[in-house]
Structure 1
């Protein structure tokens, strides 16, 4: 099972990335990652969990996951040769796309909401008609853009984005009008609280006992429940959270590797380098050279 953090990638041609029915069939998909753009991830096949916005939600066929720029999220989806994980990701650079929305007086603010604002839902379970709709959008885009030069593909991706936003605007409006709560089981609420606490304290040393005490549960129960609900361990999440923050600091600051290690909760810079390379496949120095 691959639990690497995916390095921050550049968008194809710097403005969008699209891959229709991307398939994984050689092991479970277990990935902490983020993107430089807004991502719309549609699940064709596969079941599991996604952790986003400190919440754990099921992933099933027909799910649409929305993630905002550099929003860390964790996908855990089961995959076998007989039943592969199939998804279509669309990632768009919102800074490039925003100029196309100047004349869309109602869609423009919704575009900015998807881009920058806290969303009432990041994981949507589409109805059958909506599933058919978004699959049609993706398939049509794939067919229309085959063999086109990049400039024309960029025009077509804006048409695709507008179609998706119109569909989402209607869905979000229905959510608001229904006033339906987003219920979660008590186990999930507890794990979400664990994740929230870790996200606030990952940059210092702490023990499992301290983490469990803050939520008034035993260390064993906290550890067992976390693994049960997320598919990973608390220590794996802490390490991944620290390495993700390190990747941002390596790319955007001139801080030394030693200082970064200290700032994200490692007592030893050599141990930090070992964990960073294990998670990303690169040493901190190599990662900085590649991404700065």
Structure 2
């Protein structure tokens, strides 16, 4: 659970196309300073973002905005691998690239800037076209100049975003089978409660009482639906807020400890270093990088 740094190339964009994972992995809560687009080519599981749980399936595209806490939990077996493409992009640079496409630019700007906005789109109908686009990027790089390859990458991203726009329009018009496939779960109620109370000392009994579930059922259902424990999610949310405070305020470590619901500054420092990789002082000194 951490800020997951992404070193964008000179083009302010980074691609990973059809990465295959055949062995189970736990996944972790994290966030980025840039935008991430995750396209699922094959796989099942769930995605947690914006205190919501989404079902993962073929053709789903997930959007993670800058600094949005998220976690991908793929259910992987040798017979059912997890295949996905990931694009990291600087939203400011993308907005500049879209200046000649005013309608798409308006859609993307709103999409990226809307807090707690839509995070899931069904692009299953567009997968053949997407495969053709990605095949172009996976062609022999030696036959292209660096500039040509960069231009191709931006063209592919623009076309992919146009498909997202079309899927969104289909959904609004009622012609899409499911731009958002999601059924509210108990885990969402739990995450919503924690979003409202993570700055306070945590008591599982209080949460259970307010959610109207037993403590044992509470922990079990959260694990089943998200693939993680309640304590892992809560810690990730607290660390994310701690990072924000270190970057945006002059609060002391003791004050930040209190503001994220903890009582022991030494424990906070140790936990922060364990999961973020540096001490709070070092993080602040580096400006969050």
TM-score range, shorter chain: 0.7 to 0.9
Kindly tell me: are residues 97 and 41 of structure 1, through their superposed partners in 2, closer, same or farther at Cα, counting changes over 3 Å?
same
2:105 aligns with 108
1:132 maps to: 128
Matching of residues 77-92 of structure 1 within 5 Å: 77-79=74-76, 84-92=81-89
Deviations 1:232-268 (A, max 9, x none): 1111111111112222333444433332222211101
Match of 2:138 in 1: 142
Equivalences for residues 181-192 of structure 1 within 5 A: 184-185=182-183, 188-192=184-188
Unaligned 5+ residue runs, structure 2? Answer: none
Distance 1:41 1:147, change over 3 A: farther
1:263 pairs with 2:235: no
TM-score when normalising by structure 1: 0.85
Residue deviations 1:20-79, cap 9 Å, x none? 223444541412122222221112333211011221111123221112222111111134
Matched, 1:244 2:240: yes
Unaligned runs of 5+ in 1: none
Q: Is the 8 A contact 1:14 1:93 kept in 2?
A: no
Kindly indicate whether residue 19 of structure 2 is the aligned counterpart of residue 22 of structure 1.
yes
- TM-score normalised by the chain length of structure 2: 0.86
Aligned counterpart for 2:71 among listed residues 66, 74, 82: 74
Quick one: structure 1 residues 155 and 241, their matched pair in 2 at CA, closer, same or farther if it must change by over 3 Å? same
Which of 253, 261, 272 is 1:276 aligned to?
Answer: 272
Q: Is 1:158 paired with 2:154?
A: yes
Aligned residue pairs: how many? 286
- The DSSP-based 3-state class of the residue aligned with 1:241 is helix
RMSD: 2.8
